[in-house]
Structure 1
């Protein structure tokens, strides 16, 4: 039965349609049905269909060939000429309705405004589900590690993007193990390809990358292209699965590095290229690579153009020219939301809160760092000259590593350890997290507090040490806890390591190691205790081939012995510790 009928042709809006057959028992809807392209999941695959706000039926996965459609026993007029034009454009990109989309096809649809990637789609494509059947199954035996569920989905998603010759931004929040996901991608590529992967890192994270590969990807051949003894022959680098280098070295050696066709180029702390006019930005963007990955927890620091510069490295044509980008995406909230949808298929971004159920209550992150030339000289001068008593010399060497041996604040800020601290603190601003920084020396505490205030003027920054009374300490902690936004407390582990509850902080950073593991444990427990509702991330920063390296090794041994009840705690090094600490030298290891 018809709700309405007409003879011959009829004009509905701007469209002329033919009369529906009176042989069908269907309802007739006199209005025009507007069909739009829509993303849909079919059998676990992301596909394209036609849908309408006026119809709640499933998307259509075949192109209409006449001027009307029948949906659930209702006849609708449609704008078939316009749909024919859309179909021709999509078929030019080999895109079909109902057929799983490849990542480059999804990007094309987003860029040309055919589809909008909303939150429901994001939850399925950003590291949590397949985009196409090309996504590999996770290989649990590839690394000598057990990844968290969100790392598994992120690693497989990254691999699928890279294998399609595209770029991706891994923007998980600080502490969520972005390095491990990158290791998986590189290992997967090494198994399938003879090409070499290049990883460009800040000098402050080079030692950590080296040790992560040595610990979790032992089957790969890895070399660090840094220092005065690095090779000048690009063919020598091509013999390895992985080449690690720093931004400074990549800038100096860009001509040689451009001679290699890399399987993938990975940038750690990729906010380092946010300035498109900088030499380092230009150097890495000119590298020849089959795919690219940028890793940063803070892809936008000052302006939306920060993200544009990163994407110029990842997918040079995806966001257009800088002039077009600035016109289309000015620095405001609405533009930021539009931009996030446009780049969504190439971005993996998980917050600590969103994956908290995957994480343990506490995550310990040991962070080795190479000294620079200036610290190496100061350290060696102190270690090899004069007749200082061994224990006093040991303290002097520790102070040099802490940036507190009579040096001014500028030297501390320029140090590799402070560079890593700064990278960690930059991640606090994204969600207003709070951090505790523990240092053993008063002048180091003052220098750290002053330098953090200078770099992050909007942060709450205060100190707690032996110069403040117990009542003053509690008042400072109360202010720290009550402050809305990113906050930092710089503390002495002995003065603030016992009897204080600071559950407002979920980041703990040990800027200087201690000989006694009980002091370290008690300091970390200021945050990781009953009443803490977030995962706690505990960082241990130390310099390689210095007294701090010996302290970290002995700390681990002492911790295991104390756990077994076999050793008493001591604040002083034993004789063997003393000998090892005074013998070790960073002079041959700085980069």
Structure 2
């Protein structure tokens, strides 16, 4: 890495989650130490500031650190030259970009760099303008939606290496053949290792997909939701309907305005015609009962926050006493690690219900050995990051990862799409989009296997 970056001025560190990307960066900083005149800038999500500070103190205690965040942060460029390493967040850097542009940074490190995958975003444009000597975007998921994600990150690390955006999109359409060709070009400057190839000391990860039948009564309600939504939203019906169907598959009691499945917050309406105990809830509680009986800890990932209430209500009737906690978008970043510590230190079984967008990255939760994906995501990277909270270095036991999904519903389409996107992503970082095709399929597929 050090030899490559000394020659190119940039690399993309794309190791899979759990392989120590943070430690590798700290080692590089020790090999080529930043000065106060030309400090290193590490940009990361708010939730990772404390982890970076802790790891630098632990492995490079001679490096001085300045955290630039909050109301008392520096207001002029000279205020950033008081330490060898400056830690800040993406939003803070964008807000204070004129101050950051006044420093020539020896290192620009962008953690969770998937936040910069959109070359049109103000965030990506602001950070690309910063004067720097060396650049390292860090992400375990360099491609999430299309090959342009990779272009954006590589162009940030080594501007112009893959030519300009228009030329790149013309030469590399979103196909598996293009992904393989692109991998050959980027291989020298993209460090990509997978846990299965490197961490031979890690225990097994057992992935278990559990297809579930809705049953005749819920299948009829599913069809009614689809038909009613398409009638109500004739123009945007496909997109809205898939969102409403995702809500329904999580639990029919969940109601969302317009069916935007990206909204964490939903309304919980106890429908008299629908029992708490849906087939998915029954399967989830069965897994929890077995886990708790063995004294194990469980992570449940659900994209809708109110799912936690429903699962907890069902569990209270069936499973023994255990630790319960939740982390979602409304949980202050400063509280998230505290919740993880309480969960990990609790002597006995426990369950953390988490939104993968809030807790899917940056947290080490190796106390858990069972992961349940209660809802699915169109983006396989989100799910992969979430599973890696438990299956990572420090884990001593096998980790069981369950994906629950209703057969012949929008969730089956999501699962198929996830597997396809994973396959094309692997080719390129040696993804593409099928949005329209998948939306059509999601509206055609019906419980019971009819289309």
Output the TM-score relative to the length of structure 2: 0.51
Flag the 1:201–1:539 CA change in 2: closer, same or farther, 3 A: farther
Is the 1:510–1:539 Cα contact (8 Å) retained in structure 2? Answer: no
Counterpart selection for 1:215 from 35, 38, 58: 58
- Residue 524 of structure 1 and its aligned partner are, at CA, apart by 3.7
Counterpart of 2:121? 278
Matched, 1:347 2:179: no
Matched, 1:467 2:314: yes
Counterpart selection for 1:252 from 95, 102, 107: 95
Counterpart selection for 1:536 from 388, 391, 401: 391
Counterpart selection for 2:14 from 153, 171, 174: 171
- Residue 327 of structure 1 and its aligned partner are, at CA, apart by 0.8
Flag the 1:464–1:447 CA change in 2: closer, same or farther, 3 A: closer
Is the 1:197–1:241 Cα contact (8 Å) retained in structure 2? Answer: yes
Counterpart of 1:519? 348
Once residues 225 and 175 of structure 1 are traced to their aligned partners in structure 2, the CA distance between those partners, rounded to angstroms, is 27
Once residues 469 and 284 of structure 1 are traced to their aligned partners in structure 2, the CA distance between those partners, rounded to angstroms, is 48
- Residue 164 of structure 1 and its aligned partner are, at CA, apart by 2.6
Matched, 1:312 2:159: no
Counterpart of 1:449? 302
Comparing both chains, which one has the higher relative contact order based on Cα–Cα distances under 8 Å and sequence gaps of 6 or more? 2
- Residue 245 of structure 1 and its aligned partner are, at CA, apart by 0.7
Which has a greater percent of strand?
1
Counterpart of 1:395? none
Flag the 1:539–1:272 CA change in 2: closer, same or farther, 3 A: farther
Cα RMSD after superposing both structures: 4.5
Provide Cα deviations, 1:336-394, integer angstroms capped at 9, x if missing partner: 0111111110010000110132x35499xxxxxxxxxxxxxxxxxxxxxxxxxxxxxxx
Segments of 5+ residues of structure 1 without an aligned counterpart are: 1-156, 364-407, 415-434, 440-444, 455-460, 474-490, 496-508, 529-534, 541-591
Once residues 182 and 313 of structure 1 are traced to their aligned partners in structure 2, the CA distance between those partners, rounded to angstroms, is 17
Flag the 1:323–1:242 CA change in 2: closer, same or farther, 3 A: same
Counterpart of 1:36? none
Is the 1:271–1:296 Cα contact (8 Å) retained in structure 2? Answer: yes
Flag the 1:200–1:225 CA change in 2: closer, same or farther, 3 A: same
Structure with the greater alpha carbon radius of gyration: 1
Counterpart of 2:408? none
Counterpart selection for 1:239 from 72, 82, 106: 82
Once residues 300 and 452 of structure 1 are traced to their aligned partners in structure 2, the CA distance between those partners, rounded to angstroms, is 26
Once residues 262 and 249 of structure 1 are traced to their aligned partners in structure 2, the CA distance between those partners, rounded to angstroms, is 16
Provide Cα deviations, 1:123-163, integer angstroms capped at 9, x if missing partner: xxxxxxxxxxxxxxxxxxxxxxxxxxxxxxxxxx2x22232
- Residue 207 of structure 1 and its aligned partner are, at CA, apart by 1.4
- Residue 211 of structure 1 and its aligned partner are, at CA, apart by 1.2
Counterpart of 1:337? 180
The residue matched to 2:83 in structure 1 has which SS?
A: coil
Counterpart of 1:161? 4
Is the 1:449–1:462 Cα contact (8 Å) retained in structure 2? Answer: no
Is the 1:167–1:293 Cα contact (8 Å) retained in structure 2? Answer: yes
Matches within 5 A, 1:21-420: 157=1, 159-190=2-33, 195-357=38-200, 359-361=201-203, 413=264
Flag the 1:453–1:345 CA change in 2: closer, same or farther, 3 A: farther
Flag the 1:349–1:230 CA change in 2: closer, same or farther, 3 A: same
Once residues 327 and 300 of structure 1 are traced to their aligned partners in structure 2, the CA distance between those partners, rounded to angstroms, is 18
Output the TM-score relative to the length of structure 1: 0.40
Once residues 198 and 299 of structure 2 are traced to their aligned partners in structure 1, the CA distance between those partners, rounded to angstroms, is 36
The residue matched to 1:200 in structure 2 has which SS?
A: strand
- Residue 283 of structure 1 and its aligned partner are, at CA, apart by 0.8
The residue matched to 2:103 in structure 1 has which SS?
A: coil
Segments of 5+ residues of structure 2 without an aligned counterpart are: 206-255, 266-286, 293-297, 325-337, 352-365, 372-389, 396-451
Flag the 1:172–1:526 CA change in 2: closer, same or farther, 3 A: closer
Is the 1:223–1:240 Cα contact (8 Å) retained in structure 2? Answer: yes
The residue matched to 2:304 in structure 1 has which SS?
A: helix
Aligned residue pairs, count: 270
Flag the 1:526–1:171 CA change in 2: closer, same or farther, 3 A: closer
Once residues 337 and 411 of structure 1 are traced to their aligned partners in structure 2, the CA distance between those partners, rounded to angstroms, is 31
Provide Cα deviations, 1:268-301, integer angstroms capped at 9, x if missing partner: 0111111111111011100111110010001110
